[in-house]
């Protein structure tokens, strides 16, 4: 009579639950502690609605990821010992049945605690009159699906190794492999590809293939909706579908797995070459770039040397793990040579620009808009912000700038900018002679794609005087009046109301005071707020000055023109954003304010006239330029060392002599 081989073993299932009860017991206890700790500080309907949802956004992801690998290590631990694997596979069960029994028992490590916590919390809310079933059901569904994905992925990883300590290593590496490689490859590409900043498609793909990071950055509770709602369930469902795929693949590998591979680092023979070359490549990228950053040489080809050395070390280390021997050099040198040749070929392709990445400059008809990011003076709202360029004539100027930088690639790319910055003293003023600006371009193409570029552009007085040079073109773009005004007020809507205006760093001149027989200076800087009735007139004056190019002028160097024209003072404008129908009830209690900070300049005649009209500046209050402040500071320092009186903005100042 033929023996019956079952597809599910209830005894083994129950044994796994009882044997590994500390795992699912600890998991459930952590969730209960979280909810009880919050309830002890006061429980109401609002907390009952938001706490289960908030717990999913980070805490739930972390628990799912950590306990997913713990559960997989527990229920499939028999695969890593020759004795236990032979014993269990001698049972009258199909391989698929054995896999299914262990897989379901591990999955129950999450489903059972979830059910218990859900029922206990719901009963407690019913007794307190604060039950919100929708939030609890969302927590139960989302957390169960996340645990299903991470657990299924851990089981999938478990099928490829015969060593229990290798399993959490593989699991951790594969969870962050895509994101880590993307970051390292971008660092490598920036060394060999001129202008490389990143690729949106690769960034999106890397984020998708890094589940924990993607979930952390996506899951959130939207408080702007009434009632607050959980956002990100679609992403959890997406990964849950992949959990089904990983489960099916794990079953297929389990069916073909050789039992004698228990104890091997890699249990599937076809994956051993992938393991060797993968470890070698990752070691080259990770450790090669690390050594290069800490022991930087004279050029990019020094990086290639680090890549080759680290790649060879990683390859032979992987070979030793597979062969369980240190004698791998004679048999493994050919494979190592193949890896090194591939690295050299990849680096050469990047450095020689075989794919024409460096030379590509979009055509005007291809570009929808450009975001230009560059540091400039003065240090106000536009100092570090991005400039949105949309008008066709301005887009063409940005493309002309891009082409000018590409044309000087050989000069700019090989320039060693360490120590390039220079500053000299001229008439008591520190004037910058040379600097390097980081320029980033983000093109939104009409076909929906995004193109990134980043360059280091040297800036000198000679370069700025040449209107066709990269820095000259950049200076012209940043000083286009319409673009400057749009950039300052990019976040201000038409119905936003100016409710406050203040001028910072106004120099107040007061009479000297006698203290201890010596005359002390009482002058100082302070902020001055304009009266409410001055706000409409001030805003009109600011816009007239911006449109005429008398205000908002940008400087790429801290040269004499910048120091003599720019005041220390900034005009800080506060706009009140009224409640909008699409903002929910939250905007009624917490209206949004929009702040605009504009550096004041000596040429802003209309704005300065309004400030003088309303007493911000006058006989006893004035604005001080950067050049004047540098001279004053130098004079005060000299007076403190000699005891002699000095002159400062507005008149004489007597200091206490030594």
Distance CA 39, CA 188 (A): 50
Residue 598's pLDDT band (cuts 50, 70, 90):
very high
Q: What is the tens place of the pLDDT at every residue in 213-252?
A: 999 999 998 887 777 888 999 999 999 999 999 999 999 9
Residue 531's pLDDT band (cuts 50, 70, 90):
very high
Percentage of the residues of the chain whose pLDDT score is greater than 70: 89
Distance of CA 268 to the CA centre of its chain: 37
* CA dist 186 → 190, 286, 415 (Å): 6, 12, 21
| Higher-scoring residue by pLDDT: 450, 131 | 450
* CA dist 26 → 33, 56, 71, 110, 191 (Å): 10, 18, 12, 11, 48
Strands 566-576 and 497-508: antiparallel
What's the pLDDT score for residue 93?
77
pLDDT(519) > 60: no
Residue 395's pLDDT band (cuts 50, 70, 90):
very high
Among 570, 558, 571, 551, which Cα is nearest to 630's?
558
Q: What is the tens place of the pLDDT at every residue in 50-90?
A: 888 889 989 999 999 999 999 999 999 999 888 888 787 77
> How high does pLDDT run on average in the chain?
86
Lowest mean pLDDT among 184-193, 322-331, 631-640: 631-640
Among 577, 576, 582, 569, which Cα is nearest to 535's?
576
pLDDT(365) > 50: yes
Half-sphere exposure of 160 (CA within 13 A, CB side): 19
What's the pLDDT score for residue 511?
54
Residue with tokens 């007239």: 544
What six digits make up the tokens of 560?
Answer: 């004499």
What's the pLDDT score for residue 36?
84
Is it true that the peptide bond before 378 is cis, omega within 30 degrees of 0? yes
What's the pLDDT score for residue 652?
42
Residue 655's pLDDT band (cuts 50, 70, 90):
very low
Q: What is the tens place of the pLDDT at every residue in 302-355?
A: 888 899 999 999 999 999 988 888 888 888 888 899 999 999 999 899 888 888
Q: Kindly report the pTM of this predicted structure.
A: 0.78
What's the pLDDT score for residue 419?
66
Distance CA 640, CA 656 (A): 8
In this prediction, residues 32-53 reach a mean pLDDT of 78
Residue 5's pLDDT band (cuts 50, 70, 90):
low
What's the pLDDT score for residue 202?
87
């Amino acid at each position: 009579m033929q023996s019956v081989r079952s597809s599910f073993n209830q005894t083994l299932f129950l044994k796994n639950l009882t044997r590994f009860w500390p795992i699912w017991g600890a998991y459930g206890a952590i969730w209960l502690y979280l909810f009880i700790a919050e309830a002890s500080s006061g429980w109401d309907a609002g907390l009952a609605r938001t706490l289960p949802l908030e717990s999913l956004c980070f805490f739930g992801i972390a628990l799912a990821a950590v306990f997913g690998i713990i559960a997989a290590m527990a229920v499939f631990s028999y695969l890593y010992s020759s004795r236990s694997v032979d014993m269990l596979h001698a049972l009258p069960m199909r391989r698929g049945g054995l896999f299914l029994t262990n897989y379901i028992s591990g999955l129950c490590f999450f489903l059972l605690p979830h059910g218990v916590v859900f029922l206990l919390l719901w009963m407690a809310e019913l007794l307190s009159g604060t039950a919100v079933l929708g939030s609890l059901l969302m927590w139960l569904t989302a957390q169960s699906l996340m645990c299903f994905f991470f657990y299924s992925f851990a089981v999938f990883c478990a099928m490829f190794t015969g060593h229990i300590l290798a399993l959490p290593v593989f699991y951790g590496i594969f969870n962050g492999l895509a994101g880590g490689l993307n970051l390292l490859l971008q660092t490598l590409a920036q060394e060999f590809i001129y202008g490389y900043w990143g690729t949106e498609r690769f960034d999106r793909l890397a984020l998708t293939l890094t589940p924990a990071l993607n979930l952390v950055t996506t899951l959130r509770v939207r408080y702007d909706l009434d009632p607050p709602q959980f956002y990100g369930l679609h992403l959890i469902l997406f990964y849950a579908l992949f959990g089904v795929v990983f489960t099916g693949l794990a079953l297929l590998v389990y069916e073909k797995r050789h039992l004698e591979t228990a104890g091997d680092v890699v249990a599937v023979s076809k994956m051993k070459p992938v393991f060797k070359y993968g470890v070698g490549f990752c070691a080259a990228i990770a450790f090669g770039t690390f050594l290069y950053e800490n022991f930087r040489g004279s050029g990019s080809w020094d990086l290639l040397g680090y890549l080759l050395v680290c790649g060879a070390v990683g390859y032979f280390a992987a070979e030793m793990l597979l062969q369980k021997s240190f004698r791998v050099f004679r048999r493994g040198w050919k494979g190592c040579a193949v890896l090194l040749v591939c690295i050299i070929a990849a680096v050469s392709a990047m450095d020689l620009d075989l794919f024409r990445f460096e030379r590509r400059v979009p055509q005007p008809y291809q570009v929808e808009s450009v975001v230009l990011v560059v540091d400039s003076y003065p240090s106000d709202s536009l100092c570090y912000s991005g400039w949105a360029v949309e008008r066709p004539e301005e887009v063409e100027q940005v493309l002309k700038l891009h082409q000018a930088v590409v044309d000087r690639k050989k000069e700019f790319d090989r320039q060693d900018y360490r120590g390039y910055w220079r500053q000299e003293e001229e008439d008591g003023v520190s004037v910058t002679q040379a600097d390097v600006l980081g320029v980033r371009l983000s093109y939104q193409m009409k076909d929906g794609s995004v193109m990134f570029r980043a360059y280091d552009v040297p800036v000198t007085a000679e370069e700025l005087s040449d209107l066709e040079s990269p820095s000259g073109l950049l200076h012209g773009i940043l000083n286009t009046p319409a673009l400057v005004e749009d950039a300052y007020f990019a976040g201000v809507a038409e119905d936003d109301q100016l409710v406050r205006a203040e001028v910072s760093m106004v120099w107040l001149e007061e009479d000297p005071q006698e203290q201890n027989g010596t005359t002390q200076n009482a002058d100082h800087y302070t902020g001055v707020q304009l009266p409410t009735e001055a706000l409409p007139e001030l805003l009109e004056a600011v816009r007239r000055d911006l449109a005429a190019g008398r205000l908002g002028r940008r400087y790429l160097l801290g040269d004499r023109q910048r120091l003599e024209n720019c005041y220390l003072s900034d005009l800080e404008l506060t706009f009140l954003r009224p409640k909008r129908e699409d903002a929910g009830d939250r905007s009624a209690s917490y209206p949004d304010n929009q702040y605009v900070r504009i550096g004041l300049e000596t040429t802003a005649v209309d704005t300065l006239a309004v400030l003088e009209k309303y007493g911000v500046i006058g006989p006893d209050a004035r604005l001080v330029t950067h050049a004047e402040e540098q001279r004053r500071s130098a004079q005060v320092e000299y007076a403190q060392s000699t005891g002699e009186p000095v002159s400062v903005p507005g008149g004489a100042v007597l200091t206490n002599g030594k």
